[in-house]
Structure 1
């Protein structure tokens, strides 16, 4: 199957996928996925390893083309995709402040000096994620939790209407998890659409909306209380995972 340019629309309607097939090097991972992501709400995406969760984020972010189907993203500004801490090299010569400042490139471009407003946004994001005191430290010298908080701060600095995160709190200490959860809740309250991949069912239950993927197909979608049922979990995981 040949990759084609995805049919993307941007308007004020919620982000959505319509009949999307997507994958890597001619190997489809998502199959005919149709889903909507409620505006100003937090959507949790759950499913076993290899079910297509990260691919779905890549399609929404625009870093992966679709093989067929259409993608709708809200507004004219691009979405913000938060990288996982393990994807950032320890040897990268970048301070925490510089990493968060890169989040402003979406609006300023990489070569323009930051304005006073840009610096205020960066300072606010550093403070909200509890890494302001680490601003002059090397990103690679941070602990896993500190680095992930810095990367979330970078995503928030984009001030995007659509914020995409791939397991942002997985494996982190309680303090780091609390900072990230509080930041995402605040983004949601400000009208940002948050889409978050997670393996934590307790975390998924706290979301407003939930998608369940299996083998690249959408198995269920809706409020977590309606979707994360014993029958669905048993079908997807072959048993009911512990909460």
Structure 2
């Protein structure tokens, strides 16, 4: 008896991963008795570095808080097209020097969203933490206390915590403020590499050099969008002079 074998067909293509991108529509947000963002509509492109630029009080950190889900809009809409919740890296000053945390413990907190703070991390969690430490070049600092680190080392530990969340949208609040030129350049190179690896990066910054090296820019003033687009078109001398002129 002759047995007939059916020739297998081509393997199905793996599901296509969605690119993280964000659309804001007439967004209003702020704090009790203090509105900050006012009717803000903008697009944040996927697989790109977007810089949020503006003076203190312009709404950069509030917008990051909305994108991270820690501040709820009072009106308007936010559409995040991505696979996972965003990863948020706060300013270094938001994490106290006196907290009894090692670098490894700090990065492990990035896995709490998967396991919760009271559950033991899995082997895969530990591998993810190790990969984040290595990616930031701080594996040798894993046992050090946060308060013992330089500003650049501490910032890299916080970014490693964000990487450990394995999100496709990374939000950073002033990641290079107060760092020396070498540390700023190292972090800038790292963020560029992350975009090349498929991560959408949004950073609030006062560093105009970092903003000009981004792919896109949102220029904010008094909670309003003053400009958006490529940095060379948005961060013009006249626009910056107008934004930073005294009220």
Give the superposition deviation at 1:76.
Answer: 4.4
What is the aligned partner in structure 2 of residue 234 from structure 1? 241
Which shows bigger deviation, 128-137 or 217-226? 128-137
Moved over 4 A (4+): none
What is the aligned partner in structure 1 of residue 124 from structure 2? 117
Give the superposition deviation at 1:96.
Answer: 0.4
What is the aligned partner in structure 2 of residue 7 from structure 1? none
CA contact (8 A) 2:83 2:167 kept: no
What is the count of residue pairs matched by the alignment? 229
What is the aligned partner in structure 1 of residue 50 from structure 2? 43
| Unmatched 5+ stretches in structure 2 | 1-17
Give the superposition deviation at 1:132.
Answer: 1.2
Give the superposition deviation at 1:13.
Answer: 6.4
What is the aligned partner in structure 1 of residue 215 from structure 2? 208
Match of residue 22, structure 2, among 15, 34, 37: 15
What is the aligned partner in structure 2 of residue 69 from structure 1? 76
CA contact (8 A) 1:54 1:197 kept: yes
CA contact (8 A) 2:54 2:206 kept: yes
Query: Per-residue CA shift, 1:14-67, capped at 9, x if unaligned?
Result: 212110010011311000000111001000010111111101101111100111
Give the superposition deviation at 1:152.
Answer: 0.9
Q: Are 1:128 and 2:156 counterparts?
A: no
Q: TM-score, normalised by structure 1?
A: 0.89
Give the superposition deviation at 1:77.
Answer: 1.9
User: Take 1:99 and 1:78, find their aligned partners in 2: how far apart are those partners?
Assistant: 19
Give the superposition deviation at 1:162.
Answer: 1.0
What is the aligned partner in structure 1 of residue 15 from structure 2? none
- Cα 1:178–1:13 shift into 2, 3 Å: closer
User: Take 2:145 and 2:244, find their aligned partners in 1: how far apart are those partners?
Assistant: 40
Q: TM-score, normalised by structure 2?
A: 0.88
User: Take 1:133 and 1:175, find their aligned partners in 2: how far apart are those partners?
Assistant: 19
What is the aligned partner in structure 1 of residue 94 from structure 2? 87
Query: Per-residue CA shift, 1:174-215, capped at 9, x if unaligned?
Result: 332233222211210121110001111111110000000001
- Cα 1:214–1:90 shift into 2, 3 Å: same
Tell me the secondary structure at the aligned position of residue 100 of structure 1. Answer: helix
What is the aligned partner in structure 1 of residue 195 from structure 2? 188
CA contact (8 A) 1:40 1:189 kept: yes
CA contact (8 A) 2:188 2:210 kept: no
User: Take 1:191 and 1:141, find their aligned partners in 2: how far apart are those partners?
Assistant: 33
| Unmatched 5+ stretches in structure 1 | 1-10
Q: Are 1:137 and 2:144 counterparts?
A: yes
User: Take 1:71 and 1:208, find their aligned partners in 2: how far apart are those partners?
Assistant: 21
